Amino acid sequence: MELEDGSELCFPQLLNTSCRKPTVLWHQAVFPLFLMSISVLTVALNLLVIISISHFRQLHTPTNILLISLAVSDLFVGLLLLPVEIILKVSCWFLGDLACSLFNYMSFIITSASVGTMVLISVDRYVSICDPFHYTTRVTVKRVRFCVCMCWLCSVSYSGIFVKDGLTQPGKYSSCHGECGIFIGYVTGAVDLVLTCIFPVTVIIVLYMRVFAVAVSQARAMRSHITVVTQQLSVGPKTKKSELKAARTLGVVVVLFLICFCPFYMVSLVGDSLLSHSYVSFVLYLFYFNSCLNPLIYAVFYPWFRKAAKRIVTLQPGF
> 16 lies in a domain?
no
> 237 lies in a domain?
yes
- What spatial distance separates the first Cα and last Cα of the chain, rounded to whole Å? 64
**Domain harbouring 64, CATH code:** 1.20.1070.10
Split into its structural domains, the chain has a count of 1
pLDDT tens-digit map of 261-279: 888 777 766 655 556 667 7
pLDDT tens-digit map of 62-121: 999 999 999 999 999 999 999 988 888 778 888 888 888 889 899 999 999 999 999 999
**According to the 3-state scheme, what is the secondary structure of 66-95?**
HHHHHHHHHHHHHHHHHHHHHHHHHCCCCC
Integer Cα distance of 199 and 191 in angstroms = 11
Nearest to 117 by CA among 162, 55, 72: 72
Integer Cα distance of 308 and 305 in angstroms = 5
Tell me the C-alpha to C-alpha distance, in Å, between residue 156 and each of 47, 183, 279. Answer: 22, 18, 29
> 244 lies in a domain?
yes
> 8 lies in a domain?
no
Integer Cα distance of 308 and 319 in angstroms = 7
Contact 243, 129 (CB under 8 A): yes
> 287 lies in a domain?
yes
> 7 lies in a domain?
no
Could you read off the pLDDT tens digit of each residue along the chain, which spans 319 residues? 444 444 678 777 776 777 887 776 655 667 788 889 999 999 999 999 999 999 888 889 999 999 999 999 999 999 999 998 888 877 888 888 888 888 989 999 999 999 999 999 999 989 988 888 888 899 999 999 999 999 999 999 998 887 777 677 766 667 778 778 777 777 777 788 888 888 999 999 999 888 888 877 766 666 665 444 444 444 444 445 666 677 777 888 888 888 888 887 777 666 555 566 677 778 888 888 999 999 989 888 888 888 888 888 888 776 6
> 147 lies in a domain?
yes
> 12 lies in a domain?
no
Contact 9, 20 (CB under 8 A): yes
Give the domain range for residue 277: 26-313
